[in-house]
Structure 1
Amino acid sequence: MEKKRVRRTANCSENKDCISELPDEILVSILSRLTLREAVVTSVLSRRWEYLWASIYTLDFDHRKTSGKITLTQSIKLECPELTETERKRYVNWVNCVLGQHRGTTIDEFRIWFDLNKSYARDINRWIKFAMQKRVQRLEIHLSGFRPCNPWPASCYTTYTFPYQLLLYPQLCSDIPWHTFVGFKSLKDLTLKEVNVSCEVLEYFLANCPNLERLVVHESEHLKKLRVVGSSLPLKHLWVSFCIGLKSIKICDTNLVSFKYVGPTTRLLVNNAPLLVDVSISHGMYSNFMLRQLSSCFSQLQVLTLSKWHLQDKIKRRLFTGLKNLKKLVLEIGVKDDESLLLFTPLIKACPYLQIFVFKIMWTSPLNKKRRVIKAVKCPHYHLKVVEIGGYYCGSSDFELAMYFIDNATILEKIIIDPRYQCKWYSISRIETKEEQELEQTRRRRARRQLESKVPPRINLEIL
């Protein structure tokens, strides 16, 4: 009898709900690591769990993560605008419903990602006010809108504009008591994508957010100039992309660590930025011009990325003098007709302490016909350890580039060959066809046959 009682007690101990005995703070922290929809589902577990999700620290309204299939493809937008509006309203109602039930006093992350235009400005403004009230630390507004391919002026588009008045006159937020208003004092990370934002709005954030370390602005039609000036600014990472009206960027007397620019050539002034070590410039038609404007900080750079260059662009080696501390160089190059890639080796020679080199080839019209492989002039590289060649096509051009590093990098440890398509704007959600998958497999096999016997045992050949 005593044995049965012991066995029954042991079974009860095994079935005990230990998780529910944890403090609310720990449970909320666990729920904050789930997707929003997963966190809400836990409300059915028991009365104890019914409203725990309403205090989570992360509110991520990314439509791609919803099980309700609230998604908008370009074909839907073109063929069925009624369905588009229906999906927008469903998304807005979903966000409003969750925010109406949220009970937490603070949030770490607030993220909006959906195709919303200025007709939903009232709701979006309310969401921004909510983020203010909750002392948000990471705020992302990504209104992934679709713009028709036509010559209409930008004023004809219906992109949402971030209201400057909301920052200037916080008393307009009727739901926030004036004495408790803190604005964006806690903000550390701000991302605005496909949101019209003026230079005044950005200057407000830079001047009034003492913890703001990262700023991302993508596709803002209203942004004409950007000034990041002052040693008191906490900003460390700046990314500006596809702001087609941007005329100038001024970075002076700052503690900026990394700067990334994607878009047409613009006037760039960089002065007294001693901590700037990571720079990326891409898609400029006159990349040499922008590099010349960056030359004052070349000696301190450790990572440099240059994208959307073409072999037709004249490479001026003198622009790259002074890269004495560069450790990583990334080139993303448009190539056609199996042109020789050895034209870019002077850039590598200009970086005497380079350790990592990444070369991403974006083929426009590669030819299958063979040409004679060119053997490059001997030029030892004494510090290069890792080489990655993306878009490897198994042609003469990429083969001779691989052989250049095998022959000249004296302490090379690894060479990575990636036969996959390298274009940045290649949709990550697109499913490859069977023919494309077979072509990649064929390139992998050809690359292995082409290089395996050429690579010495000390070098690790990795084919992705």
Structure 2
Amino acid sequence: MAYSTDFDDDLISNLPDELLSSIITLLPAKEAVATTVLSRRWSHLWTSLSRLDFDHLIDPFESIEHVVSSQQGNVTVFRICHSPEDWPRLAKLINHLKVDKAIEELGLTWIDDGYDRCLDSSILPASFFRCETLRALELSKYKLRADNLTIAPAFQGCVNLTTLNLNSIRLTSEILFRITSNCKLLENLSICSCRGLDYLKFFSDKLKFLKLRNLQANDVDICGKGITGLVFHNVSCSSRTIFIHCPNLKEFRLYCQNLTYSLVLQRCFGLLRSITEHGGEAFLSLPDLRLLCTKLDLNNMEDAILLSLIFRSSVHLQEIDIINRARSNSRNVQLPYDESMFWEKTELFDSITHHLRVVWIRGFAGREREMRLASHLIQNATMLEKIVIQCNNNNCSGHGALTMRILQLLPKASLNAAVILKPPSKFITEVGDDFDYWVSTRQ
């Protein structure tokens, strides 16, 4: 059978200009411009890029200016890594994007040898943030000073800003509070590895997702009916100075080295009274929670009771990811029956019988209380799709590993549920995820 081959160019080159421009827009700007050598058909496409991504360590600034000035349409996304000496020219370039190119997403990363030499906020012109078309802004490795009042008021111009990412920024709590207060439509906020913060306070019903990572603060106060996603990762703060009131939270990831997890979780799930900064008491709960990631001591009866109360209060819980870590302090808990019967005696909650689909337990050692929890979920979670149990790097003995195999033989409430056993993460990295082979090395 003969096929027609009377094309002037290849099939891709015969696509419409709009589609070809959309394809090369996905490339770094330097590679997008380089497509001009492919054929005459491609020679002008690089002048219609809606997204420009530069790295000045690779791209000469003169080339960057030429590419930006050559764009015929709007540039909705602009990202650049730049060095200190570029800033005056870059500021003019940004103003051009703001005024003439309807910029919607802007990402700036300051590249310098030392963190303490990062950009002083006085260099940033106030007009930099006054852009009605801007919807997403990411700043990395800059310095914003509280004694310079040009920055926070400037954010008042971001009337349509919905996403703000601050990475490795030096700023004070006061200026962060001003910025978040001025961005009235802010929905997604990420603050990572920032320094100079005394407290973290967020009060907004518009905010939907909040990520706090690698931070130090004396107090944390998060209040927002609209917040559905919260990441609280490696925030150095006393457990007793954390107040979280997000009643509509659906995803909660809590991982911090120095926190008393049980105390924070008890407050969030309405098991302890929280005192607000105004002296009033707030009773909290998370009835709409779908995903919980945290650390608990599954061999501690106090944490076992806390986990059962979480299952009770979060009736729609679908996924839970637990890192099993021993607690340094705990109280004696008296039960009217033998502790080994705790999960058997616990009421079957709707979250387990109707909603729970995915369970991860990391740091498993094969001890009795851990085994009884896993058995309880396998035998009662009717909607369960998988339960993944990963062994502890150091504390899982050969006997404990062999005991874990019993879990795969238990009758399952969900016929489609997979019971997956995994070796420690270190073994997976160095050797592989063959559980049986790992067990053979422990004997």
Q: TM-score, normalised by structure 2?
A: 0.69
Q: How far does residue 412 in structure 1 lie from its aligned partner after superposition?
A: 3.6
Provide the residue aligned with 2:255 in structure 1: 307
Indicate if the aligned counterparts of 1:357 and 1:388 stay in contact, CA closer than 8 A.
Answer: yes
Of the three residues 382, 404, 407, the one matched with 2:350 is 382
1:264, distance to aligned residue in structure 2 (A):
2.2
Superimposed CA distance per residue, residues 208-243 of structure 1 (whole angstroms, 9 cap, x where no aligned partner): 12221111112212233223337x822111122232
1:132 corresponds in structure 2 to: 98
Q: For the Cα contact (< 8 Å) 2:120–2:144, is it kept in 1?
A: yes
User: Which letter does structure 2 place at the counterpart of 1:333?
Assistant: K
State how far apart, in whole Å, the 1-side matches of 2:25 and 2:311 are. 49
- Range that drifts further, 97-106 or 314-323: 314-323
Aligned position for 1:210: 159
Is residue 278 from structure 1 mapped to residue 229 from structure 2 by the alignment? yes
Distance 2:357 2:364 in 1: 20
Distance 1:145 1:417 in 2: 43
1:272-308 CA distance string (max 9 Å, x none): x4422323323234463354x223x33x323322121
CA-to-partner distance for each residue in 1:125-156, whole Å, 9 max, x for gaps? 45544543533211122347676xxxxxx8xx
Q: CA offsets per residue over residues 106-143 of structure 1, 9 Å max, x none? A: 21222235xx6645544654554454353321112234
Deviations 1:10-29 (A, max 9, x none): 63435654544544333212
2:315 paired with 1:353:
yes
* TM-fit CA distance, 1:418: 6.3
Residue type of the partner of 1:414?
E
Q: Are 1:458 and 2:415 matched, yes or no?
A: yes
Counterpart-to-counterpart distance in 2, 1:364 and 1:96: 57
Equivalent position of 2:67 in the other structure:
101
1:98/1:117 Cα in 2 relative to 1: closer, same or farther (>3 Å)?
closer
Q: Please state if 1:326 is matched with 2:288.
A: yes
Aligned residues between the structures: 375
Is 1:406 matched up with 2:363? no
SS in 1 for 2:255: strand
Name the CA distance, whole Å, in 1 between partners of 2:411 and 2:154: 52
Q: Contact 1:92 / 1:123 at 8 angstroms: preserved in 2?
A: no
Deviation of 1:44 after TM superposition, in Å, equals 0.9
- Kept in 2, the 8 Å contact 1:112–1:142? The answer is yes
Secondary structure at the counterpart of residue 292 of structure 2: strand
1:141 partnered with 2:108: yes
Q: Please state if 1:11 is matched with 2:4.
A: yes
Aligned partners of 1:309 and 1:332 also within 8 Å: no
Q: Amino acid of the residue matched to residue 307 of structure 1?
A: Y
The corresponding residue for 2:42 is: 49
Task: Assess if the C-alpha contact under 8 Å between 1:192 and 1:216 holds in 2.
Answer: yes
1:182-218 Cα offsets, whole Å, 9 max, x none, are 9522111111122223465663464212221111112
Structure 1 contact 117–160 (Cα < 8 Å) conserved: no
- Preserved CA contact (<8 Å) 2:311 2:317: no
Q: Secondary structure at the match of 1:315?
A: helix
Question: Does the aligned pair in 1 maintain the 2:84–2:112 contact within 8 Å?
Answer: no
Quote the offset at 1:399 in angstroms: 4.3
Give distance in 2, aligned partners of 1:329 and 1:388.
Answer: 10
Q: After alignment, is 42-51 or 196-205 more displaced? A: 196-205
Going from structure 1 to structure 2, the CA distance change for 1:18 and 1:410 (only over 3 Å counts) comes to: closer
Q: Do structure 1's residue 260 and structure 2's residue 219 form an aligned pair?
A: no
TM-score, normalised relative to structure 1: 0.66
Indicate if the aligned counterparts of 1:118 and 1:158 stay in contact, CA closer than 8 A: no
Output the CA distance in 2 between the equivalents of 1:332 and 1:99.
Answer: 47
Q: 1:325 to 1:242 in 2, by over 3 A?
A: same
Note the 1:52-451 alignment, pairs <5 A: 52-61=45-54, 90-91=57-58, 93=60, 96-102=62-68, 103-104=70-71, 105-113=73-81, 118=84, 120-122=86-88, 124-125=90-91, 128-129=94-95, 131-133=97-99, 134-143=101-110, 157-163=116-122, 165-168=124-127, 184-198=131-145, 200=149, 203-204=152-153, 206-225=155-174, 226-227=176-177, 228-229=180-181, 233-252=184-203, 254-262=205-213, 263-270=215-222, 273-286=224-237, 288-291=239-242, 293-295=243-245, 297-298=246-247, 300-308=248-256, 315=263, 317-321=266-270, 322-333=284-295, 342=304, 344-346=306-308, 348-349=310-311, 351-361=313-323, 376-377=342-343, 378-384=346-352, 385-389=356-360, 391-396=362-367, 399-407=371-379, 409-417=380-388, 419=390, 449-451=405-407
Structure 1 residues without counterparts, runs of 5 or longer: 1-6, 63-88, 148-153, 171-181, 366-372, 422-435, 437-441
Contact 1:239 1:260 in 2 (8 A): yes
Question: Which SS does the other structure have where 2:108 is aligned?
Answer: strand
| C-alpha distance in structure 2 between counterparts of 1:194 and 1:420, whole Å | 38
Note the aligned Cα RMSD (angstroms). Answer: 4.2
- Distance in 1 between residues matched to 2:197 and 2:95, nearest whole Å: 28
In structure 2, C-alpha distance between the alignment counterparts of 1:92 and 1:294, rounded to whole Å: 45
Instruction: Label 1:16 to 1:353 Cα distance change in 2 as closer, same or farther (>3 A).
Output: same
Supply the distance in 1 between the matched residues of 2:83 and 2:16 (Cα, whole angstroms).
Answer: 42
Q: Tell me the SS of whatever aligns to 1:111.
A: strand
**Cα pair distance change 1:58/1:383, threshold 3 Å:** same
SS of corresponding position for 2:52: strand
CA distance in 2, matches of 1:334, 1:325: 20
The alpha-carbon deviation at position 455 of structure 1 amounts to 5.6
Unaligned runs of 5+ in 2: 271-283, 328-338, 423-443
Q: Verify the 8 A CA contact 1:334 1:362 in the aligned structure 2.
A: yes
Q: Which residue does 1:80 correspond to in 2?
A: none
